[in-house]
């Protein structure tokens, strides 16, 4: 089982006191580190009434995400209607599917198990209204109800929610641990050096399976051609948009690049590998530092807006990159 090969997940799981389990659990950690895997493992334990394993019928339902006492939510953004539907709002209420919200689900008694579990992946994307709606279920839980949440941005959840939950923190893994895991899973053609430093085991695995393992190298190649003036800004943006990654990943790529450049300039160390070509380029350290702050602020704001003009943002990034290079 893949879970058993992830000691960074097995160890925190083994440390949980299931005899005195709180009704709320938050799993913090970087994307792709296996938080969902851990959340489902804990859910399975609760659904089994804290036994070693589920019986075959329950296990089959659980593995197919069809268990009636498990409500698994995996969304890019959570709104109030996901947490608590309003009968007065006909658009958000379905007489047949009215139970398909967190509060209603947890109010109903268990169907075939002795407990019920809501498992919310990416719970940090809840807006404030949704978080406030969830609080009552955490403050006054039914004895059989449990809520497990995963988050990649710990500060995005209200502190009141944290105060009602047990928190499990999964740290970034060292490159050696990532490489060991890749080899243990039969991935020998790639290592952590082929990916950004923030890449995690399951994000790397997903990139390989989705044929996106060369995306970061393509990104760096675009920056090389742009800085050396082989392509102009419009061409750079078009090429970047052609890379099969989402906008958040593009932003993360920019932050990764700037951090590596800034560190090398501050420590006066030579760049190596993919970045070696930038050793002869003179960057303005203050400009790079300010850019990192701007991009991080933008990244946080993206979760609070409904839409964004990606081309406009990329124009800004490339314009500032050009200004950061000393002629």
Q: Which of 111, 41, 125 is nearest to 83 (CA)?
A: 125
The more confidently predicted of residues 278 and 327 is 278
The CATH T-level fold of domain 2-169 is Rossmann fold (3.40.50)
* Separation CA 121–CA 88 (nearest Å): 28
Encoded tokens for 157: 């959840």
d(CA 283, CA 102): 50
Out of 2.60.40, 1.20.272, 1.10.3470, 1.10.40, the CATH code matching 214-324 is 1.20.272
- Give mean pLDDT, residues 304-326: 86
- For 185, 202, 204, 277, the CA distances from 6, given in Å and listed in that order, are 11, 11, 14, 36
- What integer pLDDT is reported at residue 274 of this predicted model? 80
Q: Which helix (H) or strand (E) holds 116?
A: strand 116-121
**What tens digit of pLDDT does each residue of 61-103 get?**
998 889 999 999 998 888 888 998 766 555 555 554 445 789 9
pTM for this structure?
Answer: 0.84
The pLDDT tens digits of the residues spanning 5-45 come to 999 999 999 999 999 999 999 999 999 999 999 999 999 99
Q: In the prediction, which pLDDT does 87 show?
A: 62
Return d(Cα 249, Cα 201) in angstroms, integer: 16
Strand (E) or helix (H) holding 169: strand 166-169
Average pLDDT score over the chain: 89
Q: How far is 58 from 53, CA to CA, in rounded Å?
A: 10
51 exposure class (CB count in 10 Å sphere: 0-12, 13-18, 19+) = exposed
* pLDDT at res. 96: 45
Of residues 22, 56, 28, 247, the one with CA closest to residue 146: 22
At 286-299, the pLDDT tens digits run 999 999 998 888 87
The domain spans of the chain are 2-169, 214-324
């Amino acid at each position: 089982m893949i879970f058993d090969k992830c000691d960074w997940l097995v160890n925190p799981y083994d440390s949980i006191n299931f005899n005195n389990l709180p009704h709320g659990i938050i799993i913090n950690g970087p994307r792709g580190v296996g938080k969902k895997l851990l959340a489902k493992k804990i859910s399975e334990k609760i659904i089994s009434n804290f036994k070693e394993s589920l019986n075959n019928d329950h296990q089959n339902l659980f593995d197919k995400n069809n268990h009636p006492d498990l409500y698994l939510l995996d969304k890019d953004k959570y709104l109030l209607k996901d947490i608590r539907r309003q009968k007065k709002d006909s658009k958000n209420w379905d007489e047949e599917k009215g139970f398909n919200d967190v509060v209603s689900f947890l109010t109903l008694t268990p169907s075939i198990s002795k407990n019920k579990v809501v498992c919310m992946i990416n719970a940090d994307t809840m807006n404030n209204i949704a978080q406030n709606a969830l609080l009552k279920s955490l403050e006054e839980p039914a004895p059989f109800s449990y809520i497990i949440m995963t988050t990649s941005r710990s500060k995005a959840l209200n502190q009141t929610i944290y105060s009602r939950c047990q928190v499990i923190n999964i740290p970034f893994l060292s490159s050696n641990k990532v490489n060991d895991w890749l080899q243990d899973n039969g991935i020998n053609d790639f290592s952590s050096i082929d990916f950004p430093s923030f890449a995690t085991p399951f994000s790397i695995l997903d990139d390989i399976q989705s044929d996106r393992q060369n995306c970061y190298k393509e990104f760096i190649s675009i920056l090389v051609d742009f800085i050396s003036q082989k392509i102009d800004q419009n061409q750079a943006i078009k090429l970047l948009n052609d890379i099969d990654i989402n906008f958040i990943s593009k932003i993360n790529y920019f932050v990764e690049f700037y951090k590596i450049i800034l560190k090398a300039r501050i420590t006066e160390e030579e760049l190596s590998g993919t970045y070696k070509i930038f050793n002869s380029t003179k960057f303005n350290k203050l400009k790079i530092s300010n850019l990192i702050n701007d991009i991080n602020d933008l990244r946080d704001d993206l979760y609070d807006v409904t839409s964004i003009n990606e081309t406009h943002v990329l124009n800004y990034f490339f314009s500032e990159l050009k200004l950061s290079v000393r002629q």
